[in-house]
């Protein structure tokens, strides 16, 4: 117990000596041993590395997860050493919404089918995004975080020890200087001078040893930069693969949507409809150029007969058609419906019936049957 008391007393004395030395340095009343320029440069380089590593980490986390609430939740799960619950991302949520609405409108309709295809692609984008985030977290963020929480903490600890050894050294120099001044006045202080010189040699040795330890650790920052460079290359490769995959998904989706009739593939064809008071005027698909359709302003004999006797005929649907308004009837390719001519109706349209459903249909999407 006496040993512990003496040790606590010695620690308290050392702490007080350092505090006095630090205060006198701040007040300009004591000299300060400066570190060599090489060591100072290494310390500045380590501090800069830590600063920018933390900043890059924060911005990368914002890129990978823009929602700050979700980032905080994930951080809490990590602190509690618990697995983060799996949740759908925005692409996947949008994909589910599109698929559900497509089934609601009918997968047999052009609009419903397009919604389902878009929804499936959105889910693919969501899955690719999750893979990119996971890859970036493992190969990029984790090494950066390991440096901050591991290597730099060790550097900070040794740097603090170096600062304490430097204070001890300067305090020993101050005591020796005071002992020599007193010895010049009285021979009784010779023993104090010898003791002060011994303390100075010990302090100098400990300071030099701690400076060498700190220098070796700081020179390892070059290896850290090399490792972070490899991590940066991995991040760029993951980002390149992610965007290339997303581009391919969208190109494939665009090709699938391009198989629909041109009047539904783009909004550019709607200007004519808007100029005519919102009346939908369907355009014939490009593929119909080879079909024996009547020329503009003319009608086939079967169509003339249908209009003259005001009867009904069966017609086969050539292409999917999504109704543009409540007065129109959506069509499914290859289905057979009943059509009739209504007096006063635009010559490009017929009245179509399917069971209890009834509405206008464009004649360019139909083939009259005998």
- The pLDDT assigned to 144 comes to 96
Per-residue pLDDT of 107-130, as tens digits, reads 888 899 999 999 999 999 999 999
E strands, 149-286, are none
Q: What is the pLDDT of residues 258-272, one digit of tens each?
A: 765 544 444 444 443
Q: DSSP 3-state assignment of 312?
A: strand
Q: Which pLDDT score is estimated for 256?
A: 85
Q: Which two tokens stand for residue 145?
A: 């975080």
> For residue range 289-313, what is the model confidence (pLDDT) as tens digits?
333 444 444 456 777 777 777 778 8
Residue 34 confidence (pLDDT): 87
What phi, psi does 66 have (nearest 5°)? -65, -25
pLDDT in tens, 61-71: 999 887 677 66
DSSP class per residue in 74-120: HHHHHHTT-PPPP---HHHHHHHHHHHHHHHH-TTSHHHHHHHHHHH
Q: Identify the pLDDT of residue 115.
A: 94
- CB atoms under 10 Å from CB of 290, counted, come to 7
181-229 pLDDT per residue, tens: 776 666 556 777 888 889 899 999 999 999 999 999 999 999 999 999 9
More confident residue, 166 or 185: 166
What homologous superfamily does CATH list for 304-368? SH3 Domains (2.30.30.40)
Judged by DSSP in three states, 96 sits in helix
46: Cα separation from own chain's centroid:
28
pLDDT at 135: 93
Decide: helix, strand or coil at residue 347. coil
Least Cα distance to 314 among 293, 340, 288, 343 occurs for 340
Q: What is the pLDDT of residue 11?
A: 62
Q: Please, are residues 281 and 272 in contact by the beta-carbon 8 Å criterion?
A: yes
Could you tell me where the DSSP H helices lie in the chain?
Answer: 2-26, 37-64, 68-79, 90-105, 110-136, 142-146, 152-185, 190-219, 221-257, 262-265, 271-275, 301-309
Closest CA to 363 of 309, 304, 276: 304
Beta bridge partners of 360: 328, 351
Longest CA pairwise span in the chain (Å):
141
How far apart, in Å, are the Cα atoms of 263 and each of 5, 52, 112, 269, 284? 93, 53, 15, 6, 8
Q: Is 368 helix (H, G, I), strand (E, B) or coil?
A: strand
The pLDDT confidence band at residue 2, using thresholds 50, 70 and 90, is: low
Whole-number pLDDT of residue 98: 96
**What is the pTM (predicted TM-score) of this model?**
0.61
| pLDDT for residue 189 | 62
Q: How far apart are CA 102 and CA 117, in angstroms?
A: 9
Q: Is the pLDDT of residue 79 over 70?
A: no
At the fourth CATH level, which superfamily is domain 31-259?
Arfaptin homology (AH) domain/BAR domain (1.20.1270.60)
As a whole number, mean pLDDT of residues 360-365 equals 89
């Amino acid at each position: 117990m006496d040993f512990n008391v003496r040790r606590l007393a010695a620690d308290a004395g050392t702490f007080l000596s350092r505090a006095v030395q630090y205060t006198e340095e701040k007040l300009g009343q004591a000299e300060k041993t400066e570190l060599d320029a090489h060591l100072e440069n290494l310390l500045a380089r380590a501090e800069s590395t830590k600063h920018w590593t933390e900043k890059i980490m924060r911005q990368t986390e914002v890129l990978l997860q823009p929602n700050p609430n979700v980032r905080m939740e994930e951080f809490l799960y990590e602190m509690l050493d618990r697995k983060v619950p799996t949740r759908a991302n925005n692409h996947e949520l949008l994909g589910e919404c599109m698929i559900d609405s497509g089934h609601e409108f009918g997968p047999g309709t052009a609009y419903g089918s397009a919604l389902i295809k878009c929804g499936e692609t959105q889910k693919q984008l969501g899955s690719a995004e999750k893979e990119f985030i996971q890859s970036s977290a493992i190969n990029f963020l984790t090494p950066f975080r390991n440096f901050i929480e591991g290597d730099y903490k060790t550097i900070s600890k040794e740097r603090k020890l170096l600062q304490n050894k430097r204070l001890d050294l300067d305090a020993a120099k101050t005591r020796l200087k005071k002992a020599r001044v007193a010895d010049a006045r009285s021979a009784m202080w010779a023993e104090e001078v010898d003791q002060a010189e011994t303390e100075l040699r010990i302090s100098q040795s400990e300071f030099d040893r701690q400076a060498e330890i700190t220098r070796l650790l700081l020179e390892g920052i070059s290896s850290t930069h090399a490792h972070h460079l490899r991590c940066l290359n991995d991040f760029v490769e993951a980002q390149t693969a992610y965007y290339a995959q997303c581009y391919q998904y969208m190109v494939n989706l665009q090709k699938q949507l391009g198989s629909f009739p041109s009047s539904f593939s783009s909004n550019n064809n709607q200007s004519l409809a808007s100029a005519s008071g919102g009346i939908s005027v369907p355009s014939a698909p490009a593929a119909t150029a080879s079909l024996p359709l009547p020329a503009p302003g003319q009608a086939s004999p079967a169509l003339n007969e249908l209009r003259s006797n005001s009867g009904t005929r069966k017609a086969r649907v050539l292409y999917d058609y999504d109704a543009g308004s409540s007065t129109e009837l959506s069509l499914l390719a290859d289905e057979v419906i009943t059509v009739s001519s209504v007096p006063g109706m635009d010559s490009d349209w017929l009245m179509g019936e399917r069971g209890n459903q009834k509405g206008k249909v464009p004649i360019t999407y139909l083939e009259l049957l005998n």
